[in-house]
Amino acid sequence: MDSPRKTPSSLVRSLFERRLDPYAGADLAVSRRFTAGVLGLSSLLALAFLPFEPVDDELGSIGWLAAVLLGAGGLAGAVVLARRSPSFDDLLVVAYTGLAGIAGLNFLAGGGSSAFEDLLVLWLAAGAPHPPRRAFAFLGAMLAALALPLLYEGGDSAMLSDMAAEALILVTIGSLLTVFLAYVRRQRVGLEAGAAVERRLARVDPLTGLGNRRAFDEMLTVEIARSLRQHRPLSVGLVDVDNLKRINDRHGHIEGDRRLRDVARALEEAVRGSGVCFRWGGDEFVVVLPETDRKDADLALGRMAERVAQLCEVGDAPAVELTWGAAELEPGASAEDVLAAADVALLERKTEKRR
């Protein structure tokens, strides 16, 4: 069934809907560098504009000192921002502070329209990385800062036209940046979710649903490190389905696969709470038993084999027969060592069963 087509209105609503994590898919490091770059560049340009947009004569030397401090403070803030690891909320505060700084410089220059207003366009890059709700609120604050000169000198038709044109440019660029970055974030979320599914599937055996060899290797590495660090026992058991070939020969591979799935479910149920079961390959399974010594591992695997035989007994079908071997991690041993020891124990038990 085809998915319903999204209308422009539904796309707009999806941009502004509340999300559990509004910054999902955003790159904090990139946003930090952008904001630090905007703050630094804006401060440098502000200092460069001072000779052409001098401080109002009525403010005198105090006004010049305030203007220089605003520029120098912005440069220092950019350096600090580049060295620290702020949150997205911190970056938004910096963006609003930048707007306040531009409005302050504009006030020091007499309160009318000045070149400092042109710096607002730089701050679009600091506001756009935020979620649309916050980005457009920031854009509204930017338009308010742009309109502040109207409080000081009123406005004739020419000034209003210029201001409207500047506002239109800011709204257009800001909206495009915000929507584009919101789209990029959503695409990244989708890609990350897909990658997470692929990583999970890469560690799952498709036939039985148990963890596969890769998942086992990863867990065993972690458990060995923890066992050595905490001085706690760790055992590994290898389990073999003895009569799978006979089941395949008599009833076909489809029945053999079904019995393997039954064994996997029974194994998983039998070791739940005490260990984790994986498919080793073919008709073999492997069980990791944390905080379990060799003696308790043999007992646990014996109970597991009995439980599997009960759960997998179906009518006249051949009973599932299991053989297992267990080994405990010895001091200084590696993953290969404990697996080799479990394999030896499995072969010894098979030999005993043939006698």
From 38-42, 143-147, 153-157, 217-221, the region with the lowest mean pLDDT: 153-157
CATH superfamily of 213-354: Reverse transcriptase/Diguanylate cyclase domain (3.30.70.270)
Q: How confident is the model at residue 312 (pLDDT cuts 50, 70, 90)?
A: low
Per DSSP (E only), the strands in 106-158 are: none
- Map out the domains of the chain as residue ranges: 8-198, 213-354
User: Residue 252 CB: number of other CB atoms within 10 A?
Assistant: 11
Q: Is the pLDDT reported for residue 3 higher than 50? A: no
What average pLDDT does this structure show over 71-82? Answer: 92
- pTM given for the model: 0.64
Burial of 22 from C-beta contacts in 10 A (0-12 / 13-18 / 19+): middle
From 97-111, 269-283, 301-315, 331-345, the region with the lowest mean pLDDT: 301-315
User: Looking at residue 2, what is its pLDDT?
Assistant: 47
From 3-12, 69-78, 285-294, the region with the lowest mean pLDDT: 3-12
Which residues lie closer than 8 Å to 136 by C-beta, 6 or more apart?
A: 174, 175, 178
What average pLDDT does this structure show over 49-75? Answer: 90
Q: Is the pLDDT reported for residue 25 higher than 90? A: no
What average pLDDT does this structure show over 167-175? Answer: 92
Q: What value does the mean pLDDT of the chain take?
A: 85
Q: How confident is the model at residue 299 (pLDDT cuts 50, 70, 90)?
A: confident
